[in-house]
Structure 1
Amino acid sequence: MADQKRFKKVYSQGTLDVTEIWIDTETGVNYVFRKDGYAGGMTPLLGKEGKPVISPIENN
């Protein structure tokens, strides 16, 4: 598992101001990454009920 990456990018939009969705391959939690210029940040993606969106984990 040392050669396997923990986060997997599943969505990307933009070039200068960027929005991406990343999945933690160990927990399945989805994160939103937002970058504009030199500033950026990552936060859990929340659903309608305010709970984190969790994707099924693929076992390879």
Structure 2
Amino acid sequence: MDNRFEFIEKNGLMEGTRIIVDKETGVQYLLAHWTNIGGLTVLVDKDGKPLLDPRYAK
């Protein structure tokens, strides 16, 4: 599991946000974190389907 996720954007919308990709599925996530709190959510397109990184999408 150590290599399953890749940071693809470390300079996100604001400090404390990261975009990561699941290399097994290609699904992209937004990770937001501040001090001791945070959240993770899937990024979706205009139709509500998960955004996929074409390098990993199957």
Structures share fold, TM-score greater than 0.5: yes
Please say which structure displays the higher CA radius of gyration: 1
Query: Counterpart in 2 of 1:55?
Result: 53
Percent identity, aligned pairs only, is: 37
In 2: Cα distance, 1:30 partner to 1:5 partner: 15
Runs of 4+ in 1 over 3 A off after TM superposition: none
Matches within 5 A, 1:21-60: 21-56=19-54, 57=56
| Aligned-residue RMSD, C-alpha | 2.2
In 2: Cα distance, 1:13 partner to 1:19 partner: 7
- TM-score calculated relative to the size of structure 2: 0.77
Task: Answer 1 or 2: which has greater strand percent.
Answer: 1
